[in-house]
């Protein structure tokens, strides 16, 4: 009955997963704060969403973008910046496409036509143009701002329409110059205000309906902060994604338990796939707060059998298949960390949970006091969201904690 083709789980694919869990605060931030405020002409900062690999940064903004498209907004595709590529070309091209889709009157409006020409040059020459011209014309990036503002104006005229930009993998923008110019370009468009006449002959300043989402690994905060400091913080609000709560995963699976998940059989008829409550609990336990592990455990449980009911045994058999992939998911996170932070986590994991204090961790690492490990501890907490510096310290990233201790959910 259930086939690989009909599985609604999607570990690692570039879609919005059908089995969606949590992130209600971030979704509501878009629906209830950013969108309505910007549409009303009230300024609202851009958003930076950072977090360790696999926590669902790209997926979250992809979902927001999909909702925006549904609402009729003008949305760029997710602009992923592979390392070593030219982010400027990517953004310039996307804005040109958006202008076309939005029907900006390029032909009729000479000024607009010229602006588009400049952006077009930028979309072809990219960074080389920006740096070549930087000496005599420091405003190579300002054409991006201008075009964004034009798009914002058109969206405001159109009514009830937002312009939404999503740039992903921001940590891959390796040139500090390019990064700071890009942040300035977006930031300037976000703070831009226009004078509009209101009844009674007065003029008021309104912000344009533009929203910018930047996503990437936590390192991006350092890169942006180093160059832009306070300006960046004033223009972008940063969120560090943390793991998803067990209740949210459980709720996401509830439709399987109560009504069954509807699928289309190869014969074209509808069938429903159910999940035993025991199997539901087991998937939640195996996921350890990680959306990637959640999709993986669900997918493999689905693949483990063919009947209409997914059992606890299916989940167990599936997890056996997923073992290597699940472990390497956490290994990738650990491998990325600087050695000092990795050593910190290992030392912390070796201690009994109630013994995990700064002093004991420092001692294990061979220090007489907690001072030398302070910076690592702070980064792992506030920048990465991997630990919580409570009394005692604890792992916020449960999968990392489980991997380093003997708590990893192996097969019973």
> Please, which residue, 19 or 122, has the CB nearer to ligand ATP?
19
| CB atoms inside a 10 Å sphere around CB 312 | 18
Q: Is 1 in the site for ligand ATP (CB under 6 A)?
A: no
Say if residues 345 and 404 touch (Cβ distance below 8 Å). Answer: yes
Categorise residue 372: left if φ over 0, alpha if ψ from -120 to 50, beta otherwise.
Answer: alpha
CB of 132 to ligand ATP, least distance (A): 32
> Please, which residue, 18 or 128, has the CB nearer to ligand ATP?
18
CB of 52 to ligand ATP, least distance (A): 7
Q: Is 58 in the site for Mg ion (CB under 5 A)?
A: yes
The size of the interface with ligand ATP (CB under 6 A), counted in residues, is: 21
| CB atoms inside a 10 Å sphere around CB 28 | 11
CA distances from 93 to 124, 125, 147, 312, 397 (A): 8, 11, 11, 49, 37
Q: Which two tokens stand for residue 340?
A: 């000092």
What is the Cα Rg of the chain in Å?
Answer: 24
12 binds, among Mg ion, ligand ATP, none (CB under 5 to 8 A by kind): ligand ATP
CB of 31 to Mg ion, least distance (A): 22
Stretch that binds Mg ion, among 14-22, 53-61, 253-261, 297-305 (CB under 5 A): 53-61
180 binds, among Mg ion, ligand ATP, none (CB under 5 to 8 A by kind): none
Q: Is 295 in the site for Mg ion (CB under 5 A)?
A: no
Find tokens 């087991």 and name the residue.
282
With a CB cutoff of 8 Å and minimum separation 6, the contacts of 400 are: 330, 333, 334, 345, 386
10 binds, among ligand ATP, Mg ion, none (CB under 5 to 8 A by kind): ligand ATP
7 closest CA partner among 245, 278, 314: 314
Stretch that binds Mg ion, among 54-62, 268-276, 358-366, 385-393 (CB under 5 A): 54-62
Say if residues 207 and 117 touch (Cβ distance below 8 Å). Answer: no
> Please, which residue, 329 or 379, has the CB nearer to ligand ATP?
329
289 binds, among ligand ATP, Mg ion, none (CB under 5 to 8 A by kind): none
Q: Which two tokens stand for residue 222?
A: 């350092």
CA distances from 115 to 193, 256, 377 (A): 19, 53, 48
Find tokens 């926590």 and name the residue.
55
> Please, which residue, 58 or 238, has the CB nearer to Mg ion?
58
CB of 295 to ligand ATP, least distance (A): 4
CB of 332 to ligand ATP, least distance (A): 8
Site for ligand ATP in 290-329 (CB under 6 A): 291-292, 294-295
Site for ligand ATP in 100-159 (CB under 6 A): none
CA distances from 243 to 45, 52, 164, 181, 391 (A): 24, 10, 26, 32, 20
The residue within the footprint of ligand ATP, chosen from 59, 78, 172, 376 (CB under 6 A), is 59
The residue within the footprint of ligand ATP, chosen from 55, 147, 208, 337 (CB under 6 A), is 55
Q: Name the residues that contact Mg ion, by CB under 5 A.
A: 58
Q: Name the residues that contact ligand ATP, by CB under 6 A.
A: 10-12, 17, 20-23, 51, 53-59, 217, 291-292, 294-295
């Amino acid at each position: 009955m259930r086939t690989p083709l009909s599985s609604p789980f999607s570990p690692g694919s570039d879609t919005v997963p059908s089995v969606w869990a949590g992130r209600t605060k971030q979704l509501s931030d878009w629906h209830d704060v950013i969108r309505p405020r910007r549409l009303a002409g009230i300024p609202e900062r851009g958003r930076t969403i950072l977090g360790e690999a696999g926590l669902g940064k790209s997926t979250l903004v992809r979902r927001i973008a999909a909702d925006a498209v549904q609402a009729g907004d003008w949305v760029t595709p997710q602009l992923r910046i592979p390392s070593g590529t030219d982010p400027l070309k990517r953004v310039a091209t996307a804005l040109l496409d958006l202008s076309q889709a939005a029907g900006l009157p390029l032909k009729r409006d000479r000024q607009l036509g010229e602006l588009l020409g400049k952006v077009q040059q930028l979309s072809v020459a990219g960074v080389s143009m920006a740096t070549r011209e930087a000496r005599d014309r420091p405003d190579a990036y300002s054409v991006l701002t201008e075009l964004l503002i034009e798009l914002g104006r058109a969206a405001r005229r159109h009514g009830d329409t937002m312009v939404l930009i999503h740039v992903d993998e921001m940590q891959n923008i390796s040139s500090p110059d390019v990064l700071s110019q890009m942040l300035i370009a977006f930031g300037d468009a976000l703070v831009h205000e226009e004078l509009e006449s209101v009844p009674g002959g007065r003029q008021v300043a309104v912000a344009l309906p533009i929203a910018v989402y930047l996503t990437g690994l936590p390192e991006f905060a350092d890169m942006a902060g180093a160059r832009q400091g306070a300006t960046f913080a004033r223009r972008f609000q940063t969120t560090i994604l943390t793991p998803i709560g067990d209740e949210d995963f459980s709720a996401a699976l509830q439709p399987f338990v109560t009504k069954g998940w509807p699928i289309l059989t190869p014969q074209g008829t509808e069938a429903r796939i159910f999940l035993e409550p025991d199997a539901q609990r087991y998937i939640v336990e195996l996921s350890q707060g990680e959306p990637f592990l959640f999709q993986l455990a669900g997918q493999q449980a689905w693949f483990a059998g063919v009947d209409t009911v997914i059992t606890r045994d299916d989940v167990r058999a599936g997890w056996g298949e997923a073992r290597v992939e699940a472990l390497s998911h956490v290994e990738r996170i650990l491998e990325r960390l600087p050695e000092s932070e990795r050593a910190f986590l290992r030392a912390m994991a070796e201690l009994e949970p109630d013994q995990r204090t700064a002093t004991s961790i420092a001692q294990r690492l061979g220090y007489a006091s907690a001072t030398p490990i302070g910076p690592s501890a702070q980064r792992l907490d506030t920048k990465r969201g991997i630990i919580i510096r409570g009394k005692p310290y604890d792992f916020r990233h449960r999968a990392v904690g489980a991997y380093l201790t003997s708590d990893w959910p192996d097969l019973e």
